[in-house]
Amino acid sequence: MRYGFLFSLGSVALAFEVAAQSAVDVARPEQRQKERRAVEKAQEKRAKQASIIEFRGEQAFNEKDLRSALKEEITTIEDFGLSPARADDLAFFLEVFYRKHGYAKVNVHYVIESSDRLRLDITEGPRFMLQTVLFDGNTREPADKLFEYMVGPTRERYSRLEKRLPFVAADMQEGTHLVQRFYIAEGFLDVVVDPPRYKFQPQSDDVDVVVPIHEGRQYSFGHIVFTGQTVYGAEALRPQLLDLLQRPYAGARVEDIPRRLEAYFKARGYYDVKVVANGAPEEAVGGRVPVNVVISAGPVYQFDGVTVNGLRRLHPGFVTKRFTRLSGKTYSPDVLDERFRTLMKTGQFNLLQIKPVPVDGHLLRLDISAEEAKSREFGFWVGFDTYEGALAGVQVGDRDLFGYGRPLTASIEVSQRSYRGDILYEDPFFFDTDFYFKARGSAFTFDYDGYTKFEVGGRFELSRKITKNDEAALILSIRHVKITDSEIRPDFLLGPREYQVDTIGLSNTLDMRESPYVNPRGFLVSNTFDVASSALGSDIEYIRGTMRVGYYLPFGPKPLTPGVVADESTGTPFQRWFRQSSIAFGARVGIIHSLTTSGSGEATAIPIDERFFNGGATTVRSFGERDLGPHDNHGHPVGGEFYTVFNVEYTFPIFGELQGAIFTDAGNLLPTSEDIGLNNMRYAVGAGLRYKLPVGPIRLDYGINPDPHQFEDFGAFHFSFGFAF
């Protein structure tokens, strides 16, 4: 819910550097004289340039634009002198510049007036605009898709918001080559795309373009023959190519066959595998092209030792111990990639390269080259949060404590509602295992609506990846909470004013999203379960559980291979717009139940600061932060023991990285865990703006309350950072 700016120590150092340089300039007047002479020399050069070349007749462009477009040719004349050949080149490229902007009938005549003076007389003529592009003979491919290839070279110079494009003959010719390449990529190996024909409209400056196309037969993959060391047999290898073989035959897809099969063999230890695939279109029968695949698998390799170089402060064991348990195991590039990603996530390295080197028979030594990142950090941030107001903070840290790769960070943050201090210690490889350990100590005050609290405590978390997408954690929390001021009335709604709460719990997150921060796609399921017990020293006892489910669906095509982005430039404007849109669904539920009872047998009250709250930028957005649900006699929210939140959000492109969004939210907050369900549901409908950043969007939302109760607002604004759910 917050947005701010983080400045590193490098920014501060730059400020001192600029200040120091200013002092040097004051102390050295001769430096300023040199700079003045350089400026005067540049002015003389521009005056000389103006005296050599004169433009006449230009109307569509000013002289500055023309000189910029001909910068290289003008520089050649300045450096080597004026000659008829260079003057002719200048006139030619000036015509090319005009034609690229639609002036198809431009004429430039040059006159060499003297040995150092050239005049360019320009007859611009009308600017021709592209009216229609007609494709003659396209029976298998839609015209709208072909149109995007035809205008692609012109489109690169103009915004997609331009409704009409200038007519550029050279671009049309290049477009026909792109259309032909597209056809070949779709299996039309015999396609012929004739040069375009142009029809200039007599009563306007519009041009119609006709592109004759002879599609021919569309080829597909035929019989695939595997020869050589197939090892696993054709029955096991053919499914690795199934999606390729179901698409039209193309040379690029034949080239992809070795990459697919080599990855398959390498994942099973065949480090030296070589695969060659050859198609034979000339032997096609019924349009089906046979392909011969030759495999040389080689031996199975095992991991051996590890060498590391490039480390200066970090102990080599931080790296080598990550690979110790691989010794003697079958080579796997996926395992190396996982280890690489794990090491890079520690933040210890700017660069890390792992190179397997064959040694002693069928063994692979891992030669690792590393470039360490700066370990010590200093930063500060300022920002704004919809609930906390203005905020600022400072942070110092060392990511490589004593050279063992264990980060230690201390931070202080102040906002209009809170003061907070934190110390965080992390061990990414706890006792040299795959467990990740975090220990955080904190002390803070927070001024909520209706009460103010002071809290001091610690949190210890031990987590481990179960699979690539599944992570589990054991969490121990020890906190002392004191309500320092309260306006909650009646007083029993507040619960205990001072207490020790110690909990132990488990969390599990299954994150199947392809990119959690930018345009996520896929499922996310996470849940937590924790218990506060007197056996841990807690003054209060309860059991609590939460669950979150999300599904994120961009409408753009899914990349076929990691790191390859599908082409979204084709199709009609609506189709392109739609492919850049996405829809997200989210659901959350939580319950907390007291484990102690009063003399009457009823569960004792849960302290206000342990209850759930609802409403705000990440829940039901028609309410202010924490404002949905039960309130006291003065309108202060008092929380509840059971809540639900349901969200649906559709986002669509507006311009560049700016997106729009429409959403609907629903949720409730019930006062007691004894009576749970979907009663008292509240709703929101609204719209907002998103600005995409590499780490997530900045959001501005307004949610409308379709059925406001007494004393409730019609809606609420929210300014926040990150995804809503």
Which residue(s) pair with 474 in the sheet?
Answer: 462, 506
CATH label of the domain that carries residue 360: 3.10.20.310
Q: Smallest Cα–Cα separation from 422: which of 411, 438, 408?
A: 411
In a domain, 608, yes or no: yes
Residues 608, 713 within the same domain: yes
Percent of the chain with pLDDT over 90: 80
Residues 483, 505 within the same domain: yes
**By mean pLDDT, which of 3-17, 93-107, 327-341, 639-653 is the weakest?**
3-17
520 token code pair: 């996520």
Domain end call among 195, 214, 233:
214
Mean pLDDT of 669-685: 95
Angle between helices 29-52 and 71-80 in degrees, nearest 10? 100
Contacts 24+ apart (CB under 8 A), 478-483: 478/502, 478/536, 478/537, 479/455, 480/455, 480/456, 481/453, 481/454, 481/455, 481/607, 481/609, 482/453, 482/454, 482/455, 483/451, 483/452, 483/453, 483/608, 483/609
pLDDT at 571: 52
Residues 59, 151 within the same domain: no
Alpha-carbon span 385 to 625, nearest angstrom:
11
Alpha-carbon span 81 to 100, nearest angstrom:
28
Domain end call among 123, 155, 187:
123
In a domain, 412, yes or no: no
**What value does the CA radius of gyration of the chain take, rounded to a whole number of Å?**
34
In a domain, 631, yes or no: yes
What are the backbone angles phi and psi of residue 72, rounded to the nearest 5°? -65, -45
pLDDT at 360: 85
At 330-351, the pLDDT tens digits run 999 999 999 999 999 999 999 9
397 neighbors 410 (Cβ within 8 angstroms): yes
Mean pLDDT of 633-639: 95
660 torsion bin: left (phi>0), alpha (psi -120 to 50), beta (else): beta
Q: Is pLDDT at 105 greater than 80 in this prediction? A: yes
Residues 178, 265 within the same domain: no
- The pLDDT confidence band at residue 603, using thresholds 50, 70 and 90, is low
pTM, two decimals, is 0.73
40 token code pair: 């005067």
Residues 173, 235 within the same domain: no
432 torsion bin: left (phi>0), alpha (psi -120 to 50), beta (else): left
In a domain, 203, yes or no: yes
Instruction: Work out the number of other CB atoms within 10 angstroms of the CB of residue 537.
Output: 11
What are the backbone angles phi and psi of residue 33, rounded to the nearest 5°? -65, -40
In a domain, 442, yes or no: yes
667 neighbors 677 (Cβ within 8 angstroms): no
In a domain, 392, yes or no: no
Mean pLDDT of 264-286: 96
pLDDT, the chain, mean: 89
At 409-445, the pLDDT tens digits run 999 999 999 999 999 999 999 999 999 999 999 999 9
pLDDT at 567: 45
Alpha-carbon span 94 to 82, nearest angstrom:
16
Alpha-carbon span 19 to 177, nearest angstrom:
56
129-136 vs 715-721, strand pairing mode: unpaired
Residues 447, 579 within the same domain: yes
Q: Which residues contact 521 (CB under 8 A, 6 or more apart)?
A: 513, 514, 515, 552, 553, 554, 558
> Which DSSP category does 621 fall into?
T
- Give the three-class secondary structure for 87: helix
DSSP E strands in 63-182: the ranges are 107-114, 117-123, 129-136
Alpha-carbon span 184 to 178, nearest angstrom:
10
Q: Smallest Cα–Cα separation from 699: which of 649, 643, 665?
A: 649
Residues 713, 588 within the same domain: yes
Percent of the chain with pLDDT over 70: 88
Residues 243, 200 within the same domain: no
At 204-214, the pLDDT tens digits run 999 999 999 99
pLDDT at 44: 52
- Give the three-class secondary structure for 391: strand
- The pLDDT confidence band at residue 171, using thresholds 50, 70 and 90, is very high
pLDDT at 573: 59
Which residue(s) pair with 582 in the sheet?
Answer: 554, 651
At 178-200, the pLDDT tens digits run 999 999 999 999 999 999 999 99
How far are the Cα atoms of 228, 257, 601, 665 from residue 261, in angstroms, in the given order? 13, 6, 68, 47
At 555-588, the pLDDT tens digits run 865 544 433 334 444 455 566 666 789 999 999 9
Higher pLDDT, 706 or 577: 706
Residues 360, 336 within the same domain: yes
Across the beta sheet with 349-359, the strand order is 302-309, 363-372, 349-359
In a domain, 709, yes or no: yes
Higher pLDDT, 17 or 637: 637
Q: Smallest Cα–Cα separation from 149: which of 166, 129, 135?
A: 135
Angle between helices 143-155 and 169-185 in degrees, nearest 10? 130
pLDDT at 690: 94
In a domain, 515, yes or no: yes
Q: Is pLDDT at 643 greater than 90 in this prediction? A: yes
Residues 184, 317 within the same domain: no
**SS3 per residue for 162-223:** CCCCECCHHHHHHHHHHHHHHHHHCCCCCCEECCCEEEECCCCCEEEEEEEEECCCCCEEEE
> Which DSSP category does 637 fall into?
B
The domain tally of the chain equals 5
220-228 vs 288-296, strand pairing mode: parallel
Domain end call among 296, 328, 354:
296
At 588-600, the pLDDT tens digits run 999 999 999 866 6
Mean pLDDT of 692-720: 92
Q: Is pLDDT at 12 greater than 50 in this prediction? A: no
pLDDT at 13: 32
Q: Is the dihedral of CA 229, 230, 233, 234 positive or negative?
A: negative
Across the beta sheet with 274-279, the strand order is 220-228, 288-296, 274-279
Residues 622, 474 within the same domain: yes
447 token code pair: 């001024």
Alpha-carbon span 324 to 432, nearest angstrom:
10
Q: Is pLDDT at 41 greater than 70 in this prediction? A: no
pLDDT at 696: 81
Angle between helices 169-185 and 84-99 in degrees, nearest 10? 60
626 neighbors 613 (Cβ within 8 angstroms): yes
At 118-155, the pLDDT tens digits run 999 999 999 999 999 999 999 999 999 999 999 999 99
pLDDT at 36: 66
- Give the three-class secondary structure for 627: coil
Q: Which residues contact 423 (CB under 8 A, 6 or more apart)?
A: 408, 409, 410, 440, 441, 442
Residues 147, 95 within the same domain: no
CATH label of the domain that carries residue 541: 2.40.160.50
What DSSP letter does each residue of 406-461 carry, written as one string? --EEEEEEEESSEEEEEEEEEETTGGGSS-EEEEEEEEEEEEETTEEEEEEEEEEE
Helix (H) or strand (E) holding 147: helix 143-155
- Provide the domain limits for residue 270: 220-296
What are the backbone angles phi and psi of residue 170, rounded to the nearest 5°? -60, -35
At 462-500, the pLDDT tens digits run 999 999 899 999 999 999 999 999 999 999 999 999 999
- The pLDDT confidence band at residue 31, using thresholds 50, 70 and 90, is low
